[in-house]
Amino acid sequence: MPEPLPPAPEPRAPVPLVHVSRGGRLECVHRGHYVIVQDGLVVEQAGDAGFQTYYRSTSKPFQSMACITSGAADRFGFTPAMLALAAGSHNSEPAQLEVARGMLAAAGVEESALCCGGHWSINKQVARAQVLEVGADADPLPAIWSNCSGKHASMLASAVALEAPLGTYVDPVHPAQLEITRVIAACAGVEPEAIGIGCDGCGAPVHAVSLEAMARSLWRLGDPASLPAELGDAAERVGQAMSEHPGMVAGAKRFDTDLMETASMRILSKGGAEGVHGLAVPRLKLGLALKVEDGSDRGYRLVVIELLRRYGALTSEEAEVLAQRHGRTIRNLAVTEVGHLTVEI
């Protein structure tokens, strides 16, 4: 008879990641989990490496890879900027919208086919311009304004390339979505059937794996040689596109873009909703996946910066600049300093 499997490890409690203080008094603690994989091995973890969570938008680089493996990117001549936008959560800046519309036009798909729904820009300055353009009471907003419209354009292009229906392209069993799940599973090192599927805010399927599997997938994104040739080529192209066009991955005043532009060492960075963040450092063969349990992105930015500094992916000077820009100091509406954040790892 086969030997019984060992008992599953007990889940570990989340650890304090960031303390938030105001007036010298502790006001808030962001707790969570993270895993770092380097060259295929877990080299650091805090909290529960087996914590199951959705990638949310951290999966977008892999969804962009699927646009390549489906044949769509080559068939429709997608540029690196288009692949970067498919891997990103954009601000709806004019240059970003031009690229998204270019993707749809190249695939011969109407803008009305987008199922992502529209919303005001993540960037306040862009959102003000949108209000002036359509009025504050406009409803619905153009779907192309969704921060996910680049991803959805790539999914529609894959549907065309796979000769699959456009109207159901966000169905989890649609050929374009099955290809995405295949890519994520291969990069994460799990079976497709083991991946949890939910619905993201934009209506597309969203994938859940353990943080260790997520970190492993991000390591492979930055280390294409660790993947079979077809997937390795796609990872190489998407990673290069993100490096060449960090502004397409997020945009002005956004953490992912600023991190990739500031770091002297190449970094592939992609955050997601509900406190998820992932990145790859290709030169170090390193992948990081992090989840803040309260869902706050404030809870991960300084942690990401500090971990990258410790591993030598950021200099102390680069880390200081980024920490100043991304939330170490709390200011009130009169721009007076009233508190600060401290990394606790």
Contacts of 241 (CB under 8 A, 6+ apart): 64, 80, 81, 82, 83, 84, 87, 248
Q: Which helix (H) or strand (E) holds 189?
A: none
Tell me the residue type at 18: V
Among residues 186, 185, 199, which one has the least CA distance to residue 54?
199
84: pLDDT strictly greater than 70: yes
Number of alpha carbons in the 13 Å side-chain half-sphere of residue 36: 15
Mean per-residue pLDDT over the chain, rounded = 96
Phi-psi map region of 279: left, alpha, beta (phi>0 left; psi -120 to 50 alpha) = beta
pLDDT of residue 2: 52
Contacts of 158 (CB under 8 A, 6+ apart): 66, 67, 70, 71, 72, 169, 175, 176, 179
User: How confident is the model over 137-160, as pLDDT tens digits?
Assistant: 999 999 999 999 999 999 999 999
Distances (CA, A) of 113 to 1, 13, 67, 95: 55, 43, 17, 21
A 10 A CB-CB count for 201 gives 16
Q: 59, 206 in Cβ contact below 8 A? A: yes
pLDDT of residue 1: 45
pLDDT of residue 4: 57
Write down the CATH number for the domain with range 15-343: 3.40.710
User: How confident is the model over 159-175, as pLDDT tens digits?
Assistant: 999 999 999 999 999 99
Domain coordinates in residue numbering, the chain: 15-343
User: How confident is the model over 237-267, as pLDDT tens digits?
Assistant: 999 999 999 999 999 999 999 999 999 999 9
Q: What is the mean pLDDT of residues 162-190?
A: 98
Distances (CA, A) of 295 to 226, 243, 290, 298: 31, 27, 11, 9
User: How confident is the model over 220-245, as pLDDT tens digits?
Assistant: 999 999 999 999 999 999 999 999 99
A 10 A CB-CB count for 24 gives 7
